[in-house]
Amino acid sequence: MRSESHSPSGPPGTPARRAEQNRRRAWRGLRRTVLWSLVFGVGTTFAVAWILAGVVNLSTVKPITGSGETGVAGEVWVVHVRARSGAASVLSQRFTGRVRSDIAARPLLPSWAPFGVKQPAYEQGATFYESRRASARGWPKLALMAVEEDPYGNGSTLNGGIRIGDRLLPLRVIPLGFAVDVAVYSCAVLIILGPWILRRVGRLRRNECLGCGYPLGGAGRCPECGREVDEPASVPQPLPGPHR
Ligand SMILES: [Zn+2]
């Protein structure tokens, strides 16, 4: 049995096989980096939305009010929108009465606020008014929201959020805004890691040590810094033939 550990450039693989291994390692590293940057993007999107929920107080923001017909005589639909960078809340109310507003309700309603149709209980006449409020946070796009049913009533309920003191942590994902924020934060990490990724890919392509950049040849361990050339266990090692 011959021992390969004694020869410094002993061949655990031919140059072609080493190149193939390096290519595989480069792809594996890239996949892992992209995956982790996505995980970071999701985490940061949640963190930013929750920090904004704690920091931004919309009660001091003057609302824009719109009104519209509900299709029932005497009934009115009123939408109040308060918004500033990274935060918005929408209060939607339907009742019998009159509200003066030159602004139409429907164009004022953001696409993420699910108040375009009446609640069943109100539609069927079980309640004489409906009142709902959606609070959203996120930057650069609103990413998470919570919905309160009857926010000013005694039976106020909260969906898709957690109340902490007088703050509301939103939990319900706003699909488009969430995707944009995750993409922004993930890409930011990839750009920051860009030089490191390029150096790693370049060293693998030139068959150099990932630690110090020393040319490896066929060595299984870097002759310069001693770093192990990690070969995946899943790659089968060819048996050495008698004439190799
Ligand atoms: Zn090295």
Question: Does residue 125 surpass a pLDDT of 90?
Answer: no
| C-alpha 238 to ligand 1 mean position (Å) | 25
Q: Which residues fall within 8 angstroms of residue 141, CB to CB, at 6 or more apart?
A: 174, 176, 177, 178, 180, 181
Q: How far apart are CA 102 and CA 179, in angstroms?
A: 35
Q: Which residue type does 62 have?
A: K
User: What is the distance in A from the centroid of ligand 1 to the CA of 207?
Assistant: 11
Centre of ligand 1 to C-alpha 74, Å, is 80
Q: What pLDDT digit, counting tens, does each position of 227-243 carry?
A: 988 665 444 555 555 55
What's the rounded mean pLDDT across residues 128-155?
95
**Collapsing DSSP states into helix, strand and coil, what is residue 214?**
coil
What is the distance in A from the centroid of ligand 1 to the CA of 220? Answer: 11
* Gap from CA of 37 to ligand 1 centroid (Å): 27
User: 79: exposed, middle or buried (C-beta count within 10 Å: 0-12, 13-18, 19+)?
Assistant: buried
Question: In this predicted structure, which of 13-17, 151-155, 231-235 has the lowest mean pLDDT?
Answer: 231-235
How many residues does the structure list for the chain?
Answer: 244
pLDDT at 231: 60
What average pLDDT does the structure give for the chain? Answer: 89
- What value does the mean pLDDT take over residues 141-168? 93
pLDDT digits (tens, 9 = 90+) for 24-49: 999 999 999 999 999 999 999 999 99
Q: Could you read off the pLDDT of 44-99 as tens digits, one per residue? A: 999 999 999 999 999 999 999 999 988 888 899 999 999 999 999 999 999 998 88
Beta strands in the chain (DSSP E): 64-69, 75-84, 87-96, 130-137, 144-149, 157-159, 161-164, 167-170, 172-173
Enter the pTM of the model.
Answer: 0.82
Query: Residue 103: phi, psi to the nearest 5?
Result: -95, 135
Cis peptide before 195 (omega within 30 of 0): no
Interval between CA 218 and ligand 1 midpoint (Å): 13
Q: Does pLDDT of 177 surpass 90?
A: yes
CA dihedral 30, 34, 39, 40 (to 10 degrees): 100
**Who surrounds ion ligand 1 at CB < 5 A?**
209, 211-212, 214, 222, 224-225, 227
Quote the ligand 1 centre to 213 CA distance (angstroms): 6
Query: Which DSSP symbol is given to 161?
Result: E
Instruction: Report which of residues 235 and 23 the model is more confident about.
Output: 23
Task: Report the separation in Å between the CA atom of 188 and the middle of ligand 1, taken as the mean of its atom positions.
Answer: 29
- At 126 the pLDDT is 87
Residue from 181, 82, 188 nearest 135 by CA: 82
Q: Per-domain residue ranges for the chain?
A: 56-174
Reported confidence tier of residue 7, pLDDT bands at 50, 70, 90: very low
